[in-house]
């Protein structure tokens, strides 16, 4: 009998859009060690030399599963004036900046004592050379986003972080509006200054102190909040190689995807309960997308 382990981290898959989930697991084709050259990831380039090392897929820590992506200071380069050292993910299909949705988990191995690095997730138009959005875990403990004003970017504090803690960060770009989430709670709505396709995502630091981990990078989420779905009393658990779901109103449909976004189960339910057999699935990470009363929630689980 296959062992089923449910992973609690939840996110919303866009209906009709193939979401991409990057968890840095072996099932996705990742190997422990330098991320440069793995699955469209590269690391920071040097003017006269190879791309930097030390930015690695690791099994030291993860928000779920086994692996994550760790970015680490490189003493040989010294402190930098901006966050430029780390990993760069080149998207095969750029995200539309007027309707892009991204979420990720981040953990900083150090304290907000003013001595550490700034750890940033940057959404970038690499082809045109423009940043489209930044989320910055700053060295002083603030979580910052940015508004464009007169050709410059002004930081806006949306929260505080503590060391040795996982945070789930989300951003929804919708027309002229950018909405940000911390641990699935909406914390700030402001200006969407992204104007060009997002073709690269950067997880970078400015090479001061401490390391940071990235996990569960989710692209094309439909909605980064779950409050609307929870009011239907939806619950789920696994037992005896089945995924069992219940709700106070009708469950319309259940679709299962593997980590590559390939559909492996598609079942119309139209009942307040559903039992989905898992015995035929290969070992690996899967995503269940569930529609209840027209709302959609997705969650991840593994089959071992």
Are 282 and 8 in contact by the 8 Å Cβ rule? The answer is: no
6 part of a folded domain? no
Task: Please check the confidence at residue 12 and state whether its pLDDT lies above 50.
Answer: no
Question: Could you tell me the sign of the dihedral formed by the alpha carbons of 200, 201, 203, 205, in that order?
Answer: positive
Domain membership of residue 9 (yes or no) is no
Q: Which two tokens stand for residue 295?
A: 């709302």
- Rounded CA gap, 228 and 23, in Å? 26
Same domain flag for 279 and 142: no
Which domain covers residue 159, as residue numbers? 20-219
Greater confidence (213 vs 14) lies with 213
Residue 175 lies in a domain: yes
Q: How many domains are contained in the chain?
A: 2
For residue 172, is it within any domain? Answer: yes
Assigned domain for 13 exists? no
In a shared domain, residues 96 and 148: yes
Q: How do residues 85-113 score in pLDDT, each as one tens digit?
A: 999 999 988 998 888 888 899 999 999 99
* Same domain as 83, residue 50: yes
Domain ends where: 161, 187, 219?
219
CA distance 104 to 276: 28
What confidence score (pLDDT) does residue 99 get?
83
- Considering only residues 150 and 52, tell me which one the structure prediction assigns the higher pLDDT: 52
* CATH code of the domain in which 155 resides: 2.60.120.560
Look up the pTM and report it. 0.72
Looking at the domain assignment, is residue 123 inside a domain? Answer: yes
Verify that 87 and 54 share a domain, yes or no: yes
User: Are residues 208 and 160 part of one domain?
Assistant: yes
Residue 176 and residue 88 in one domain:
yes
CB 139 within 8 A of CB 115: yes
**Are residues 97 and 119 located together in one domain of the fold?**
yes
Planar angle of CA 222, 120, 149, nearest 5 degrees: 85
The pair phi, psi for residue 18, each rounded to 5°, is -75, 110
Provide the percentage of residues in the chain whose pLDDT is more than 90: 50
Asked which of 46-60, 108-122, 216-230 is least confident by mean pLDDT, the reply is 216-230
Domain boundary among 194, 219, 244: 219
pLDDT score of 222 more than 60: no
Would you give the end-to-end CA distance of the chain in angstroms? 9
268 and 125 fall within a common domain: no
Give the tens place of pLDDT for each residue, 248-289: 999 999 988 876 567 889 999 999 999 999 999 987 778 888
| Residue finishing a domain among 166, 186, 219 | 219
Residues 201 and 85 grouped into a single domain: yes
In a domain? residue 7: no
190 part of a folded domain? yes
């Amino acid at each position: 009998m296959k062992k089923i382990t449910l992973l609690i981290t939840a996110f919303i898959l866009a209906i009709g859009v193939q979401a991409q989930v990057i968890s840095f697991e072996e099932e996705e084709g990742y190997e422990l060690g330098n991320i440069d050259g793995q699955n469209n990831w590269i690391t920071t380039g040097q003017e006269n030399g190879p791309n930097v090392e030390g930015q690695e897929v690791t099994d030291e820590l993860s928000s779920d599963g086994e692996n994550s992506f760790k970015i680490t200071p490189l003493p040989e380069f010294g402190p930098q004036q901006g966050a430029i050292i780390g990993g760069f993910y080149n998207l095969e299909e750029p995200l539309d900046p007027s309707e892009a949705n991204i979420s990720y988990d981040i953990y900083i191995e150090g304290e907000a004592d003013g001595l550490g690095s700034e750890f940033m997730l940057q959404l970038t138009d690499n082809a045109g050379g423009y940043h489209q959005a930044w989320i910055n875990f700053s060295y002083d403990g603030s979580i910052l986003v940015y508004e464009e004003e007169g050709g410059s970017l002004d930081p806006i504090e949306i929260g505080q972080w503590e060391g040795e803690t996982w945070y789930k960060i989300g951003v929804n770009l919708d027309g002229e509006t950018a909405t940000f989430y911390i641990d699935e709670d909406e914390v700030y709505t402001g200006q969407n200054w992204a104007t060009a396709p997002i073709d690269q995502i950067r997880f970078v630091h400015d090479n001061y102190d401490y390391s940071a981990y990235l996990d569960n990078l989710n692209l094309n989420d439909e909605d980064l909040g779950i409050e609307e779905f929870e009011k239907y009393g939806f619950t789920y658990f696994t037992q005896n190689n089945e995924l069992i779901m219940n709700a106070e109103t009708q469950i319309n449909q259940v679709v299962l995807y593997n980590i590559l976004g390939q559909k492996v189960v598609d079942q119309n339910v139209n009942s307040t309960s559903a039992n989905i057999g898992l015995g035929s699935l290969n070992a690996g990470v899967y995503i269940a997308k569930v529609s209840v009363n027209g709302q959609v929630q997705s969650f991840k689980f593994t089959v071992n």
